[in-house]
Amino acid sequence: MSIQQPSVSKLIVSNLSTSRGGKMIFDKLSFSLAPGEILLVKGENGSGKSTLLSNLANILPPTSGKICLETRKTQKVRYIGHKLAIKTTLTVRQNLSFWCKLYNANNKFFEKSVKDFSLSHFLDFQINKLSAGLIKRVSLARLLIGESLLWILDEPYINMDKKNIELLNKVIEINLNKGIMVVIASHQPIQIDSHKSLDLAFSPPYLSNSQED
Amino acid sequence: MFLFELLKNEIKISSLNRGDSLFVAIFFLVTISLFPLGVGPDTITLSRIAPGIIWIMALLTSIVSLDRLLSDDLDDGTTEMLVSSNIDYTIIALTKIITHWLTTGLPVILMAPLLGLALQMQGSSIGTLIISLFCGTPTLSLIGTFGSALTLNAKHRGILIPLLVLPLNIPILIFGSSCVTLDNINFDPNGSFLVMIGILLIAITLCPLAISILLKMSIEK
């Protein structure tokens, strides 16, 4: 298999600290991710998983620290958060083709995405007529549209049944082999071999008073 | 160009679902056609107050859809998605402003000649009215979107937006309707046009910047 890499683009996070509303969410977080690696961000509710992911997705600037991703200036980051960014009154096809235009992707990506997430039967359905799990699947279809390098998935397994989870894991595994980096926040274990993990649970802000050493 | 693709999607969404422009057109048409019934069919009175009526209604139609203009995208995550895809806040702001003008300003301009005739305006005054609407409605969209961005995290936005936006739009109303009134009494309306274009230029430089900052703030809150 040939992996095309014009430049090695690792994700390097160093000394990342973020506070929201005056509270330190996490402090001096450092990790790095190489192409083909997957990072599972664990932690209780409120431990800062979503905040970290918004930092990585360039949505929320960190209070201090650095996030290095060489391809930041291109559109190679796919962030799928709690809000799915789907227009519910459009059809599946219309949403997908908007993303194709957004990421400058041709029809090949569209068809691949539809095939891999098995959406072909629902293409002309309006989103608000679909079930929650299916809507989630449509939102995940954005991952496969256009060239991408880093996937940031915030609780991707919510609303998904076993079959859909397997489907997503398969897509992730195939693309890890192609050199994509994946960051997943989830409080359930993931069935993907050889993943790195980062546990944010060691110092949630609301425990910092009682667990000071 | 992302602006163009975003715009196409916006137009598709607003035309398909909310029927925004249709609603605006109907609102504008129905309210203005009520005036001859209320004021009476007297030709002289109607033609005298017609520019004012059309301008006031243009102002009111511009605030009808403001409360959902930016918040829809913020609530469903589209704005976050665009930002994480490296699209600048300014592009998002410009898209919203242009969409607002295309769905409210443009229908008003297109229907103005018809309504001018219904309100007994002269042919030449209708021409002046159209030019004044062309100079003024973009400013209404710029200021309106700004008001919408300013109230993004506020409760009772439906009340706040008109309270905020209508006073800011008063200069446009004054100069817009005075263009036509001046033209009616054979005075040169060019001065009023220039003032409106001046206000438009100020709004173009300030509003997109302010809206993008406000959008950024409400995402990062």
What kind and span of H or E run contains A150?
A: strand A150-154
The answer to whether ipTM exceeds 0.95 is: no
Neighbouring residues of A120: CB distance < 8 A, sequence distance ≥ 6: A114
Residues forming beta bridges with residue B15, ordered by sequence position: none
Enter the pTM of the model.
0.89
Residue B23 CB burial class (10 angstroms; 0-12, 13-18, ≥19): middle
Residue A160: closest CA among A168, A152, A170: A168
Q: Give me the pLDDT at residue A171, please.
A: 93
For chain A, the domains span: 11-202
A211: pLDDT confidence band, cut at 50, 70 and 90? very low
What is the CATH superfamily name and number for domain A11-202? P-loop containing nucleotide triphosphate hydrolases (3.40.50.300)
pLDDT string in tens for chain B (221-residue length): 678 888 888 877 777 665 666 788 888 899 998 998 998 888 889 988 999 999 999 999 999 889 888 998 999 999 999 999 888 999 999 999 999 998 899 999 999 999 999 898 888 899 999 999 999 999 999 999 999 999 998 888 889 999 999 999 999 999 999 999 898 888 888 999 999 999 999 999 999 999 999 999 999 87
Chain A nearest-CA distance from B221, in A, is: 8
Average pLDDT of the segment spanning A16-43: 86
B88 interfaces chain A, CB cutoff of 8 Å: no
Average pLDDT of the segment spanning A79-105: 90
Chain B nearest-CA distance from A169, in A, is: 22
Is A12 in a helix, a strand, or coil? Answer: strand
B13 interfaces chain A, CB cutoff of 8 Å: yes
Q: Give me the pLDDT at residue A3, please.
A: 44
Chain A nearest-CA distance from B198, in A, is: 35
The one-letter amino acid code at A53 reads L
How far apart are alpha carbons B176 and B58 in whole angstroms? Answer: 10
Q: Where are the alpha helices (DSSP H) in chain B?
A: 2-13, 20-39, 43-64, 66-69, 71-76, 78-84, 89-100, 106-118, 123-150, 157-184, 190-220
Burial A9-27 (b: 16+ CB within 10 A, else e): bebebeebebbeeeeebbb
Mutation target to probe the A interface, by most A beta carbons within 10 A, among B2, B18, B85, B153 is B85
In this predicted structure, the answer to whether residue A213 has a pLDDT above a threshold of 50 is no
Average pLDDT of the segment spanning A31-56: 87
Higher pLDDT, A70 or B93: B93
Q: What is the pLDDT of residues A135-152, one digit of tens each?
A: 999 999 999 998 888 999
Q: Which residue from A61, A74, A77 is facing B84, i.e. has the nearest CB?
A: A77
How far apart are alpha carbons A103 and A100 in whole angstroms? Answer: 5
For chain A, the average pLDDT equals: 83
B76 interfaces chain A, CB cutoff of 8 Å: yes
Q: Give me the pLDDT at residue A76, please.
A: 86
